[in-house]
Structure 1
Amino acid sequence: MSSSSPVPIPPSTLATLQAFAERIILDPQYHDLLSIVKGCRNGAVYGAKVRFPHALVMVLLFRSGTLREKAGLVFRATRTHAHNLARFAFIYKLTCYLLKHFSGRAGGGKGGAEGPYDSFVAGLLGGYVVFGQRSARSGKVSSVSQQIVIYVFARVVLALARLAVKTDGGGLPFLSREPVSATVSHYAWPVFAATSWAAVMHLFRHHPDDLQPSLRNSMSYIYQQSDHWDSLRNFIWHNK
């Protein structure tokens, strides 16, 4: 009995297929739809790149268990982060596409015009569907989703604070005037940094269970476990 080997594809056929695929992806009429696909791809890749090293370090430092159990935790955290960002990118870009092409707004070429609040509506929908849901099994929001939302929220607060003191339009009526704007800009960050650390240290000292677990673990390592040792070995070389 002779085994059949796969028939190789001629180079000319591969070149033809490649040229055909490139004509599709470079055609302007498919650009908006293909950008949804590319957004999913980029969201998944970015989520994996960001989460994997973070999860690896946090699990190795603060989680107990076998190597296989730790590897499973790292894999699940990486998969969740990548999956969430890919889903959000899909919902966000698809919603923007639908609003632009089917809203009936004139202008912006054949597909219609982008509205001033399209990105807000698309972000609202994506944020609710992807990051606003609780686990059906535990009834809790996943720690990965919490971390992503908290990260985004912190950046939003900083951006709004900068926007509030802008003197070239967009700022708040009183804060955007000189010299008030310059004074607030100069002192805002020190006050923000000081009060943030004052609040988190107070919460860690008196209400640690209400802090996010990875933050609580890292703070415990620095501020609580540093209070205990019984030899030079676990004073310098080892923590415990």
Structure 2
Amino acid sequence: MSSPIPPPEPTALESAKAALERIILDPTYHDLLAIVKAARNGAVYGAKVRFPHALVMVFLFRPGTFSEKASLVFRATRTHAQNLARFAVIYKLVCYVLKHLGSRGGPGKEGPYDTLLAGLVGGYAVFGGRGKRSGKIPSVNQQIVVYVFARVVLALARLAVKPADAAAGVAGGLPFVSRPDVSARISHYAWPVFAAASWGAVMHLFRYHPEELQSSLRSSMTYIYQQSDSWDGLRNFIWHNK
């Protein structure tokens, strides 16, 4: 009988891949590797979200040559991706440090305010600064912070009127307004009032203080509500804006 053929020796590339997988799957390195993964995810998400938005807004509403517009799209995409990646790294890193320094639950356990502190540090470091040359707040950063702020306000508004559920151990929101009957009534009417107030305010600001609105919002509103007031023939009434 012939002796069995031994399996081929793994190549250097396969050995390196196996070693890398052992490190990645080792729980000892999980928290540190999560920081690297967060940076990757932040950059990818930022690019995916910003690129189509910048492409549409710049090419539809911004003047300039093709190369100038392409440069604006690239810069906005890069800035958004970099900022989300930087914030993810700082946030995860601060959470890691706080967790391993020890908190109310002791070293290795997350404290009740670790995420708040990490968010404060990341928000200040990444989104709290101004442009080095212009001294102005970057428009991309304004858009991200305003987006987050709007979601925070909506969440806090919902939390304020959230009824208590003793059986589930869920605390209610603010006194009186979180009573089930009052909460249901506020929830029913709050959104129409909020939507009406928001649009009324932004249209008033656009009419009398347009310079205070964000540039992308101002550009789109100029296109829709201001440039629609003028034309000199069928060509720029239907087929072209100007």
Q: Is the 8 Å Cα contact of residues 95 and 115 (structure 2) preserved in structure 1? A: yes
Q: Flag the 1:20–1:50 CA change in 2: closer, same or farther, 3 A.
A: same
1:186-201 mapped onto 2 (5 Å cutoff)? 186-201=188-203
User: Alpha-carbon deviation of 1:99?
Assistant: 0.3
Distance across 2 between alignment mates of 1:228 and 1:156:
40
Q: Flag the 1:63–1:11 CA change in 2: closer, same or farther, 3 A.
A: farther
**Alignment match, 1:84:** 83
1:33-182 mapped onto 2 (5 Å cutoff)? 33-103=32-102, 105-106=104-105, 112-168=108-164, 169-182=171-184
Letter in 2 for 1:238: H
Under a length normalisation based on structure 1, what TM-score does the superposition of the two structures give? Answer: 0.92
User: Alpha-carbon deviation of 1:11?
Assistant: 6.0
Distance across 1 between alignment mates of 2:178 and 2:137:
38
Q: Flag the 1:221–1:15 CA change in 2: closer, same or farther, 3 A.
A: same
Letter in 2 for 1:130: V
Classify the secondary structure of the residue corresponding to 2:176. coil
Letter in 2 for 1:191: V
Unaligned runs of 5+ in 2: 1-8, 165-170
Distance across 1 between alignment mates of 2:54 and 2:225:
21
Q: Percent identity?
A: 75
User: Alpha-carbon deviation of 1:178?
Assistant: 2.2
User: Alpha-carbon deviation of 1:103?
Assistant: 2.4
Number of residue-to-residue matches in the alignment: 228
Distance across 2 between alignment mates of 1:70 and 1:229:
26
Letter in 1 for 2:207: R
User: Alpha-carbon deviation of 1:152?
Assistant: 0.3
Distance across 1 between alignment mates of 2:64 and 2:159:
47
**Alignment match, 1:220:** 222
Distance across 1 between alignment mates of 2:103 and 2:28:
18
Classify the secondary structure of the residue corresponding to 2:152. helix
Off by >2 Å, runs of 4+ in structure 1 = 103-107
Letter in 1 for 2:137: V
User: Alpha-carbon deviation of 1:170?
Assistant: 3.8
User: Alpha-carbon deviation of 1:67?
Assistant: 1.2
Unaligned runs of 5+ in 1: 1-9
Distance across 1 between alignment mates of 2:174 and 2:184:
13
Q: Is the 8 Å Cα contact of residues 167 and 176 (structure 1) preserved in structure 2? A: yes
Segment of structure 1 superposing worse, 219-228 or 162-171: 162-171
User: Alpha-carbon deviation of 1:190?
Assistant: 0.4
Under a length normalisation based on structure 2, what TM-score does the superposition of the two structures give? Answer: 0.91
Letter in 2 for 1:181: S
